[in-house]
Each structure stands twice: as C-alpha cells, then as structure tokens.
Structure 1
Amino acid sequence: MDMAAEKRELDISNKTSNANSNNTNLDQIIDSSPPLASAGNDTSNKEAEERQARELKAGLHPLKHKFVFWYTRRTPGVRTQTSYEDNIKRIVDFSTVEGFWVCYCHLVRPSSLPVPTDLHLFKEGIRPLWEDPANCNGGKWIIRFKKVVSGRFWEDLVLALVGDQLDYGDNICGAVLSIRFNEDILSVWIRNASDNQAVMALRDSIKRHLKLPHNYVMEYKPHDASLRDNSSYRNTWLRG
C-alpha cells in the first residue's frame, strides 16, 4: 500500500490499524473461508447497537455499517442469471476499521484478477443481485476506466463507501468493480431509483470524492432495465 493510500485511511478513522499487509490469492481466501453464511435481512438497529457496543468495549473502531466482500468469476459467453448467482462467492465481512484493513490488505490487486471478474462490496444483508429486495427498485451509476488506473479509483471508492463519505449514503447498497478485457468498470448501486434528487446528488458526490477528470462520463441504468435485457452495462442512459 503506498503513502497516499495510508493517508486516505484518515477518511475512515482518526486512528490507523495494525493490519497485516501480506497479500494472498483471492481464490485461497474463498477456499479457506468458513462455510458461507446466509446474507439474510438487514441487521436491526438493536443488533447493530449491540455489535458496536461490543466493538467499542474491545477497543475497536466500529463502522456505521457492516460490509461484505463478494467475488464472481464469470464464464465468458454465459449470461444466464442462474449461472451468475451460482458463481457469487461470499469472501469475508467486517464491521470495524481494523477489520476492514485486515480484509482489504489480503485481497489481490485488481490488476492481478482474471478476466472477466466482478469484485463486490455490499452492506451486510444485501446480495449483489438485481433481484435482491434492497436492489430491485434501484439502479447504478457506472464509470468506465482504462485498466491502468482502475485500481486507484476502486480504492478511493471503497474508502468513501466504508467511511460513509458519500452523500445520501443510506440510499447506497454497494459497489462493484468489473474486470473486463479492454476496460474496467466501477458501479455504485442505489436502493431507490425513483428518488431523483438522491440519484443525482450521489452522482455529484462520486465525482467529487473520486476527483474524476472532466472527460470522464458517468452512465446510469435502473436494475429493472438490466433484468429486461440481461445486461449490466449495455443500453445505459442519463449520462452526466
């Protein structure tokens, strides 16, 4: 991790973690993880408060939300939703600053991931599927990057999401990094596509936090449109 990344950690907490920075292969993390738990519904406020109390007592720094990293190794040429859902693997979850850095520092860098691959970061209780109850009425903002710069923008987006730095954060479900042959694609998934104010404010917030150059174009697509054409990134609209 470079010095710039270490400084950006301050956006999450005023204290740094003692995370181990050794990298391991993402497939090894999946294979060695405990049996996958069901994502279930959103954690209740009472459960979240109890969890945060335990973490504070342990001297940790709780995040506002608990998050889960997921991994999908897509099969080229196969687009059925059933096969996609079968390929989604839950890697690890975290709910503290320290837990995040332990998880993040053990993930391989985007430049080393095979093509095509999706890496997902979602709030606990939300699966990275269009049909999930938290996603079905929502959509996503999409940004396409050259492969040489995608890793830096993905890290900035992850830190902003985990640190609850984006406007209308409660309307955000998660984010996805899609590794493709000629480009990499970042997308931010929102819960309610009908709230136009929240949708547009999130677009502007993403631009600010990622410091996007003016020549970058953001695209938008509702999840119901993705369900109709069985595609995440084709036929997008509402560019800005």
Structure 2
Amino acid sequence: MNTTYLDERHIVALEKLVADPEEVQDVAPPRVVPMYVKDTPCTPLEHPLEYTYVYSFFLRPPGKFDPVEYAQYVQQIAAVRSVEQFWSVYRHIKRPCDIGEKVDVHFFKKGIKPVWEDEANLKGGKWILRLKKGLSSRIWENLLLAMAGEQFLVGDEICGAVCSVRNQEDIVSLWNRTADNIGVTNRIRDTLRRVLNLPINAVMEYKRHDECLKPAKYPYQTTGIVYPGG
C-alpha cells in the first residue's frame, strides 16, 4: 500500500476534483490527510483489465515553482485493475469541464509516473489535442475507455493520458513509449481519431518528450492547435 500526504491546499483541490472524496480516501485529522492508493485484487466476479491504471492529479503549488519538481506534487487518487473498479472510481471524479482549478488529471499504467523523465517515457512522446472549453469531458471519457479496453492494439506502447484544465482551453494528450516508431505513432493517431470520433478538420500534434526536456528556444510560442468540435 502506497501512502502520500496532502497539505491543506491539496485537500481543497481533491475536494474539487472528486465529487465524494470520502469514497476514495480515509478520514484523518485536519491538515494532514493520508490518501491510500489501494491495488485491490479482482474478485472472481470482476472483469480484469489488461493493465492496472492509477488516477492522479497535479495542482501547481503556491509561489515560485520549478517544473523539475512536478513529480513531487503529483497526488494519487486510486488504482484500478478491473472494469468494475474503473467505474467505481470514475463515477466519483468530476469531469474536466466541471473542474474550476488549473489542474492536470492523469490516468497512467501502474509503475509509470506522469512525467517526461520517467524511464518509460524518456524515448517516447505524446499526441496532443487542444480543446475549446466545454469539449474535454466527452473526449477524456472516451479516451479512458479506449485505454482500459485496449483499443489501440500496440502492445505496451501506451503509457498514460493527461487532461490539463486551463482557463482558455483544455489539453488532452496520450503518451507512448517509442517516438521513433512511426508505424506505432501513426496507428495510435488513427485509433485516436476513431475512438474519439474526431471530425475530419481536427488537428493533432505529436511531440517527442526529449524535445520537452530541452530548453525552449521560444518559450512563449504555442502551436495553436484546436479541436473545433462539430
């Protein structure tokens, strides 16, 4: 059993992220709340997933923040290893469109941290969709279902997914292990278009993680990629 400790600000964030926090964490004295991420074995009546996945989130700490410390502020919510466990957690987590905070929500295979520096991610990359506000909840749900249901058919290439809730847009990304394998990345792209039911004019960007690790030449330049819906 893994145990992490939340400060008061993260407790507030968790309450905003989870519709019923008591369903996924134990009650503890104020200000120091242990959140236990349980890897519960499947019962004979449950339908096991191919991989165990972990829900987590990141909320930027107050004051000056070094992005290198990102992993230290990732707070786990729950681990799921069956269809039934997936839904028992998912139904208590707020949808991206209902979250008011700037927050990153993660859904990653157990053992893989949602950071570029993790060994599973170092040589990989991610497909990125930039979404207008109000569109991310449906896209995020369909993506999680496709991952849990092993729709991508690329072996262990899929590492996890991130939904970044921001003021003007939401950003959904799917991470994979091997950026150099063009056949795999293209297959992931094509499967994303199908399972997310993207319109023909939806633009997707692929970005290698080793590019993210390099100092940005133009740190304020963005791609401007938007999924317009419709």
Q: Which TM bucket (shorter chain)? A: 0.7 to 0.9
2:204 corresponds to which residue? 218
| Separation in 2, partners of 1:110, 1:162 | 18
Aligned to 2:135: 149
Structure with bigger strand share is 2
Cα deviation code 1:147-193 (max 9, x no counterpart): 11111111110100111112315211000001011110110000011
**Does the 8 Å CA contact 1:139/1:190 hold for their aligned counterparts?**
yes
Could you tell me how far apart the structure 2 residues matched to 1:234 and 1:208 are?
A: 30
Contact 2:59–2:73 under 8 Å retained in 1: yes
Which deviates the most, 104-113 or 135-144?
A: 104-113
Deviations 1:209-235 (A, max 9, x none): 111011210001111111113799966
Could you tell me which of 145, 148, 163 is aligned with 1:177? 163
Partner of 1:55: 42
Aligned to 1:168, the other structure's residue is in SS state coil
CA distance in structure 1 between the aligned counterparts of 2:220 and 2:162, rounded to whole angstroms: 12
Please, which runs of 5 or more residues in structure 2 have no aligned partner? 1-14, 27-32, 224-230
Q: Distance in 2 between matches of 1:67 and 1:173?
A: 10
Deviates more, 1:181-190 or 1:159-168: 159-168
For residue 17 of structure 2, the aligned residue among 23, 26, 40 is 26
Asked whether 1:196 is paired with 2:196, we answer no
CA displacement, residues 61-92 of structure 1 (integer Å, 9 cap, x when unaligned)? 11111000011112589562243222110110
State the AA in 1 paired with 2:50.
K
TM alignment of 1:111-150, pairs within 5 A: 111-150=97-136
**SS where residue 42 of structure 2 aligns?**
helix
Contact 1:67 1:95 in 2 (8 A): yes
Q: 1:206 to 1:162 in 2, by over 3 A?
A: same
Which range is displaced more, 209-218 or 106-115? 106-115
Q: How many residues align?
A: 200
- 3-state secondary structure, aligned to 2:140: helix
Counterpart mapping for 1:66-81 below 5 A? 66-75=52-61, 80-81=66-67
Q: 1:59 to 1:129 in 2, by over 3 A?
A: same
Change (3 A) 1:96 1:87: same
Correspondence for 2:71 among 85, 88, 101: 85
Answer whether contact 2:55 2:108 (CA < 8 A) is retained: yes
**C-alpha distance in structure 1 between counterparts of 2:35 and 2:152, whole Å:** 32
TM-superposed deviation, 1:26: 2.9
Letter aligned with residue 188 of structure 1: L
**Partners of 1:233 and 1:166 in 2: how far apart?**
33
SS at match of 1:131: coil
Match in the other structure for 1:17? none
**Higher RCO, 1 or 2 (CA under 8 Å, sep at least 6)?**
1
* Residues 234 and 34 of structure 1: CA distance in aligned 2, closer, same or farther (over 3 Å): farther
Cα-to-partner distance string for 1:28-51 (whole Å, 9 max, x where unaligned) = 3676485556x9xxxxxxxxxxx9
Matched to 2:88, the amino acid is V
How high is the TM-score relative to the length of structure 2? 0.77
Alignment gaps of 5+ in structure 1: 1-23, 40-50
> Is the 8 Å Cα contact of residues 75 and 116 (structure 1) preserved in structure 2?
no
Which residue identity does 2:129 align to in structure 1?
Answer: I
